[in-house]
Amino acid sequence: MTEKSGVFETRPIATEIELARLFQGFQLDGVRGNPSGADCKVAPSGGMAVKMSPGFAHVGGYWYESTGAGETVTVATASAQARTDLAVLRADPAADAVTFAVRKGTAGTLTAPEPVRTPGGVWELPLATIRVGANATTLGVDDVKDAREFAGVGVAPSFSGNRPDKPAMGQLVYESDTARWVGNTGGTNWRVVAEDTGWVDLQPAWPSVWETSWQVKVRRVNGVVHLAGALRRINSVYGKADADGTLLAVLTRREFLPAFRHSPAVVCDNGTKGGYVVPGRLYVDPSTGEVRLQHVAADIPIGHHVYLSNTWLGA
């Protein structure tokens, strides 16, 4: 067996094939663009010809660019049986070139042939499948199906207020200040892919009348905010006639705010089985983050707990 490796001082790159195989580790195959664009897109061009639009691509470690009007290839003559061909960009080290080509399918088979991918040899990047009907003399729009593969980009760290200014569609960034992964959906549009803030402790907003009985904490996971914990009433009774409610806690970060006004039902009790239970309602303010207890059915005595466990859609 023979081992090869590099690049080292005594083992420099000696051939274009070695260079291409090195580059394959840095850049995956694909068209530079996105599915909504026309880069290297194949379409019928009259008769049995197909035309590829201009574009840039990476194929087997080699770069390729077509400029101007694009490239045209004539598909092999139809036979008495239908077949499916494969339009490709073909890197051929023996020819010292990457070219637009069509690989002929098998008559009677509607599945396109697999692209050739030979390490150190011919390497093909699929662009489109082409249905060639029995005895066909022309190709229609419905006969050519887009099958382009696109070059990807790595995940980069970023800040939520300073994302890449010219992102590629599908590009991912990790926002270090929000602990979110966000993906680009085209242009300046981004969508949250995954997020988890972890649990963040909250303290009583009015510690002279509410104390922590079960640590109040909040967490956002993939757009849903979870609130947990309980507070115990101390020093004074909370009267049901209080129209403004009593302030329990304040959400400390914007990502914890609800997308809409949130007023879930809650219960207050003394923590013992069969104890005095008072229903009420929380109000989570979407603009200030204030969490208030309101509209209780009766006065809340000293020693009673309010249970805050709840979830809502984050802003």
Q: Considering only residues 107 and 156, tell me which one the structure prediction assigns the higher pLDDT.
A: 107
Instruction: Extract the tokens encoding 47.
Output: 């008769």
Alpha-carbon distances, residue 59 vs 94, 102, 114 (angstroms): 15, 15, 15
What whole-number percentage of the chain has pLDDT above 70?
95
188: in domain: yes
Q: Considering only residues 275 and 130, tell me which one the structure prediction assigns the higher pLDDT.
A: 130
pTM, two decimals, is 0.60
Give the pLDDT confidence score for residue 2 in this predicted structure.
63
Q: How far is Cα 137 from Cα 129, in angstroms, rounded to an integer?
A: 17
8 Å CB contact between 27 and 154: no
1: in domain: no
- Tell me the mean pLDDT in the region 251-266: 87
Residue 3 pLDDT greater than 70, yes or no: no
Instruction: Extract the tokens encoding 77.
Output: 């003559």
Give the pLDDT confidence score for residue 20 in this predicted structure.
76
8 Å CB contact between 315 and 259: yes
The verdict on 36 and 94 lying in the same domain is yes
Give the pLDDT confidence score for residue 245 in this predicted structure.
87
Strand 156-158 relative to strand 172-175: parallel, antiparallel, unpaired?
Answer: parallel
259: in domain: yes
The verdict on 131 and 231 lying in the same domain is no
The verdict on 206 and 296 lying in the same domain is yes
The verdict on 214 and 301 lying in the same domain is yes
Give the pLDDT confidence score for residue 272 in this predicted structure.
66
What whole-number percentage of the chain has pLDDT above 90?
52
Q: Given pLDDT bands bounded at 50, 70 and 90, which one contains residue 84?
A: very high
Q: Which of 178, 204, 203 is nearest to 192 (CA)?
A: 178
Provide the CATH number for the domain around residue 236: 2.60.40.2460
73 upstream amide cis, omega within 30 of 0: no
Which residue's entry shows tokens 């049901």?
240
33: in domain: yes
- Tell me the mean pLDDT in the region 216-220: 95
The verdict on 141 and 215 lying in the same domain is no
Q: Which of 61, 50, 118 is nearest to 88 (CA)?
A: 50
Instruction: Extract the tokens encoding 231.
Output: 């507070």
Residue 8 pLDDT greater than 90, yes or no: no
Q: How far is Cα 315 from Cα 287, in angstroms, rounded to an integer?
A: 10
98: in domain: yes
Domain extent, residue 116, equals 16-146
Q: Report the mean per-residue pLDDT for the chain.
A: 88
Among 113, 146, 179, identify where a domain stops: 146
Highest mean pLDDT among 157-161, 223-227, 297-301: 223-227
Give the pLDDT confidence score for residue 5 in this predicted structure.
65
pLDDT digits (tens, 9 = 90+) for 89-137: 999 989 989 999 999 999 998 899 999 999 889 999 999 999 999 999 9
Exposure string (b/e) for 182-197, b if CB count within 10 Å is 16 or more?
bbbeeeeebeeeebeb
Domain total of the chain: 3
Kindly report which listed range (56-60, 104-108, 176-180, 183-187) carries the lowest average pLDDT score: 176-180
